[in-house]
Amino acid sequence: MNTQTAIVPRQLRVGLIGAGIGRSLTPAMHMREGEHCGLSYRYDLIDLDARGLSVSDLPALIDEAEAQGFAGLNITHPCKQAAVALVDELSPDAQTLGSINTITFHGKSRIGHNTDWWGFAESFRRGLAGVALGHVVQLGAGGAGVAVAHATAEMGARSIEIFDLDPKRAQALVEQLQPAHDACRFSIGHDLVAALDAADGLVHATPTGMDAHPGLPLDRRLLTERLWVAEIVYFPIETELVKRAKQAGCRVLDGGGMAVFQAVKAFELFTGMRPDANRMMQHFNSLRS
């Protein structure tokens, strides 16, 4: 009698820790791609708000996930910087950025990674291929701002002028990233009109345009067709900035690609398998349609 041995899918469990993450599309992207790769893939949302917790509970949450056999964790606002002190080792980019959005567990060792910057860079390469990167203006110097400024410099920008409502935060970004990028000059912006007049493109890295923070981060008259515009907000996918930039004739990158490609790299870190990025992008688009 012929018998066949059933193939049991490799089981993998990961999670996302953050506040107000109930609408995140990351779990669905990971689990669907895991299914395509023959994995039994579980992705848990660990929402601080839903559980009545705060950043101070992060050490216990990471300990709990590790004890339960998680392969790793994604980390999002407001925990990315606090998580740095809770790992044993940092990837080179995570060291530069001083924040992590991914933790992988290897035996008793925790390694912290930052896939946000790579996600932005990969999205940019695909969506704005061939644009000039001589002088770039960036709005926003928070955690996401640091990641995308690092990415822009890694892609070959010669100068990046940083604008933020808090000048000290802009100064901190410049001081943090300049030592890591000899070929790119970082500076604090003071005159947005003059800066955009001399710029090749604009990177937007503030919350303005999100559902909870509607509006434009600058006067729409400053958007001219010679500028490219890159957005990182993806709720909604067509922010007011994306809409106005398209109307002005700019080449435009919406925030969806960064959301997908940070997940692509995290999936690879968790599983050791290379996912199908195009398939993940198609799934992401279907989820938000």
Catalytic residues: 80
Task: Tally Cβ neighbours within 10 Å of residue 98.
Answer: 16
154 phi and psi angles, rounded to 5 deg = -60, -30
Residue 255's contacts (CB-CB under 8 Å, 6 or more residues apart) are 231, 232, 233, 234, 237, 239
Residue 194's contacts (CB-CB under 8 Å, 6 or more residues apart) are none
How do beta strands 39-47 and 201-204 pair?
unpaired
- B/e letters for 251-261, b = 16+ CB within 10 Å, e = fewer, are bbbbbbbbbbb
- The tokens describing 94, both together, are 């995570």
28 phi and psi angles, rounded to 5 deg = -65, -40
The CA distance from 273 to 120, in Å, is 21
